[in-house]
Structure 1
Amino acid sequence: MTYFLKRLSEKRIWNKIFVQRLSEPLHLNFISIFIFLFGSFRKKVAYDLVLRPQHAYSILEAADQAKERGLKTISVLEFGVANGAGLMNIIKIAKKVTKVTGINIEIFGFDTGKGMPAPLDFRDHPEYYTTGDFPMNRDLLEQNTKNNATLIYGTVKDTINDFKKTISPEAPIGFISVDVDYYSSTKEVFELLDSKPEHFLPLTYIYFDDITLPHHNDKCGELLAIKEFNNTHQYRNISYHPFFANRRIFKNADWVKQIYYFHVLDHKYRFELERNRETNVLDNPYLNFEGNKKQFN
């Protein structure tokens, strides 16, 4: 609560509230007051009342999917930790998700620990980012994340292959936050996505932080990396779900447009021809037959 109130003292937060929140229907904002005061964690996630809702939504959805598949643990990854506000938020949310779902969550944060490396060329958006940006207070962050997250130091290309060897199908990856700014670094992150299919949930959530500014486009940065990945992979696809916003109560928030789905098309779940469930039957209000729930009297 203290951190939430502190955030409300920032001018940019009020600008965000005005543009993304108060532009929504008045009755939804009114209901939100009661949800904030008395609602469950799930309700607060549904009403975007958890700090960094992109984390809350994705981790909760991944945990629910894991529970449905009989798993006990999932892995959550953040690429681009910097001073760790996002990672510490993930830790806090993960504890609440575990309490609600019973799913354990292993958290990994990747960062050089020294700020950003040198940009490659125009594709890395040097108009926005450059060498040394976003350094880390390493000792302080380690003290505050100890026993709750594993920090992995070094460039992505120097650490990703060793990490891939440690992934277990018993704790598949369910959510990835990509905040590495550069096209070149994002390409290196995507080497992770070539791991064995069982190392992911069939539908894994990815949040892309750096796709919102005016100069971001699909010939540079994270958007170019996404396009190239999809063009070179037959059974893996990173896609924005065009109806995702329709499923949210609040639809104007930027983060809704930053959530992508990583489809693992070669996952065994996609090939299970028999499902342990009843046959789907469509109702018809114009016919009278057994099991029809919508028939006229």
Structure 2
Amino acid sequence: MSFLLKRLTQKRIWTRIYKERLSEPLHLNIISFFVFLFGSFRSKVLYDLVLRPHHAYSILKAADQAKARGFTEISILEFGVAHGSGLMNMIKVAEKVTNTTGIKINIYGFDTGKGMPEPIDYRDHPEYYNTGDFPMNRDLLEERIKGKAQLFLGPIKETLKEFLTSTSSKTPIGFVSIDVDYYSSTMEVLELFKEDPNLFLPLTYIYFDDIFMENHNDKSGELLAIKEFNETQKLRNISYHKFLVNKRLFKNSNWTKQIYYFHVLDHPYRFETKRNDAKRVLDNPYLNI
């Protein structure tokens, strides 16, 4: 609560509330007040009343999918932990999702622990960042998340290898938050999505943090990394779901444009066929007598 109150003292937060919330239909904002006071966790996710709604939406959807597939637990990952507020929010959200769905959620954070590395060239958007930006208070963060999440500190190439030796298809990855800022770092993260298809849910949710910035485009930054990944992978695809915003009650939030779907086209689930005796027949009112 103290973190939320602190954020409400910032001008940019009130600007976002005005643009993304108060610009929405009045009746939805009125209903939101009562949902905030009396609603279930699912209702609060539906009305974007959970801090960092992209976490709440994605983790809940991943847990629901896992439950339908017969799993009892999933993994969620954050690349670019920095001061740790995102990771700690994922912990809070995961607790509520577990209480709602019964699915256990394993949380992993990846970071250099030393702030931003040197950019390689214009593709890393050096106009936005300085080397050493976003350092971590490692000791304090590890103390606060002990027993709730695991940190992997060091170069992404090395920490990914370490993670992959400890994970399994019994705890498939359902959500990945990517906030490493650079094209080069994002490319290293996306190597994860080339691994064994059974390590993922058939539809895995990804949040890309930086693509809303004006200088980002498909020739640099995260968007270029996504483009190059898709061009080189025949049976894996990272795609923006154009209709997600249509499914949300509140349509002006940036986060709905930052959620991408990772389609694992070679996942065994994609080859399952379910047969039953009842045929599905479409109704045609013009043929009714």
- TM category, shorter: over 0.9
- Structure 2 counterpart of 1:139: 139
Deviation at 1:167, TM superposition (A): 2.2
- Structure 2 counterpart of 1:218: 218
Q: CA RMSD in A?
A: 1.4
Deviation at 1:273, TM superposition (A): 1.9
The alignment partner of 1:17 has SS state of helix
Query: Which deviations, in whole Å up to 9, do the C-alpha atoms of 1:48-78 show, x marking residues without a partner?
Result: 0000000000000000000000000100000
Query: Which deviations, in whole Å up to 9, do the C-alpha atoms of 1:125-152 show, x marking residues without a partner?
Result: 0000121010000011011100000000
- Structure 2 counterpart of 1:88: 88
The alignment partner of 1:204 has SS state of strand
Q: Distance in 2 between matches of 1:150 and 1:280?
A: 47
Note the 1:81-160 alignment, pairs <5 A: 81-160=81-160
Q: Distance in 2 between matches of 1:167 and 1:139?
A: 25
Q: Distance in 1 between matches of 2:211 and 2:157?
A: 22
Cα pair distance change 1:55/1:272, threshold 3 Å:
same
- Structure 2 counterpart of 1:268: 268
Q: Which amino acid aligns with 1:17?
A: I
Q: Distance in 2 between matches of 1:22 and 1:189?
A: 36
- Structure 1 counterpart of 2:209: 209
| Bigger shift: residues 160-169 or 224-233 | 160-169
- Structure 1 counterpart of 2:161: 161
| TM-score of the superposed pair, with normalisation by structure 1 | 0.94
Q: Which amino acid aligns with 1:139?
A: D
| Bigger shift: residues 85-94 or 111-120 | 111-120
Note the 1:24-43 alignment, pairs <5 A: 24-43=24-43
Q: Which amino acid aligns with 2:282?
A: L
How many residues align structurally? Answer: 289
Cα pair distance change 1:12/1:142, threshold 3 Å:
same
| Bigger shift: residues 275-284 or 231-240 | 275-284
Query: Which deviations, in whole Å up to 9, do the C-alpha atoms of 1:212-237 show, x marking residues without a partner?
Result: 11101110010000000000000000
The alignment partner of 1:77 has SS state of strand
The alignment partner of 2:273 has SS state of coil
Q: Distance in 1 between matches of 2:217 and 2:130?
A: 18
Query: Which deviations, in whole Å up to 9, do the C-alpha atoms of 1:191-244 show, x marking residues without a partner?
Result: 100110010000000000010111011100100000000000000000001111
Q: Distance in 1 between matches of 2:107 and 2:116?
A: 21
What is the aligned-residue identity percentage?
68
Q: Distance in 2 between matches of 1:168 and 1:240?
A: 27
Are 1:18 and 2:18 counterparts? yes
Q: Distance in 2 between matches of 1:278 and 1:26?
A: 45
Q: Distance in 1 between matches of 2:6 and 2:159?
A: 35
Structure 1 unaligned residues grouped into runs of 5+: 289-295
- Structure 2 counterpart of 1:281: 281
Deviation at 1:275, TM superposition (A): 5.0
